Amino acid sequence: MAYKRSHYHPTRLSSNEEDEDTVYFTPLGAAKEVGRSCLILRYKGRTIMLDCGIHPGRTGDDALPFFDSGPDAEEIDIILISHFHLDHAASLPYFTEKVQGGAFKGRIFATHPTKAIMRLMLQNHIRTDSVRLAADGTSADEGAEAPLYTEEELQACLDKIEVIDFQQRVEHRGVKFWCYNAGHVLGAAMFMIEIAGLRVLYTGDYSMEDDRQGGREGGWCTGWDERGGDDRVHAGGHPGSEAPHPPGDRGGPAGAAAAPQCQVGREGGREEGREGGKTAKFTG
């Protein structure tokens, strides 16, 4: 499994240690670094994986998220992939086909463009990784690395991905979710997740720069209304538009980069943090 660095020890919770009124976020990657984005969200007995990428500056098992510090693969109900970049998606075939012998039995969702372009990106990743390994000149008998997964394992993973449109609502095992245009790359999505009345917005990477992906008026879409409960897609979101500022936007100029984030709030409002005994907590 993934190599563990001495300074990174996420806390693994057993089922009897979990408080049902606490939201647990456990980063399996990208907590103190750029790359291998992979976040575990636990609440009310439901477990969701948000993205599953590799570290672009590392190779082999060392590039993977710390899967051995997270929940068992069979415990994960849903995987949501925000976009097709390697640092957000390239570990997915390894997780679905190899971790604990392919024990994952949940559902995977991504937008149509994310799934289509992800196929090309990961096929190219397999080939370039194979070229790199061949250039090392080490034989299998001498302990040479192998690619993280094969073309066949990639295809088996892609067959598991269900496509979702912006604004389309899906419910699985009591978890409701839908996505908005993140504006980062074609098909990039922010996921709004609702469990027992608590909403969590996972942005992935997002952009506030006007472009052709954001609709006729440009910009990007959030759908988050200040009053809560508004499911419309809002174009723009900058001063002078009817749309509210997107999460994380403080009215800065168009084109400013925005880092991934999560926001937690109760249904029907935008209050964050502790509300009605529900506490957002990061473990690790």
Q: Where are the domains of the chain?
A: 15-164
- Among residues 229, 205, 224, 248, which one has the least CA distance to residue 83? 205
pLDDT digits (tens, 9 = 90+) for 135-153: 876 554 455 578 899 999 9
Question: What is the pTM for the complete model shown?
Answer: 0.74
Q: Please tell me the distance from the alpha carbon of residue 75 to that of residue 270, in angstroms, as a whole number.
A: 30
Report the DSSP pairing between strands 279-282 and 22-29. Answer: parallel
| Residues in the chain, overall count | 284
Report the DSSP pairing between strands 107-110 and 161-163. Answer: parallel
CATH class of 15-164: alpha beta
10-residue mean pLDDT profile of the chain (284 residues): values are: 42 56 91 90 96 93 94 97 97 97 96 97 92 70 73 97 97 96 94 95 87 47 37 31 37 42 47 36 47
pLDDT digits (tens, 9 = 90+) for 161-187: 999 999 999 999 999 999 999 999 999
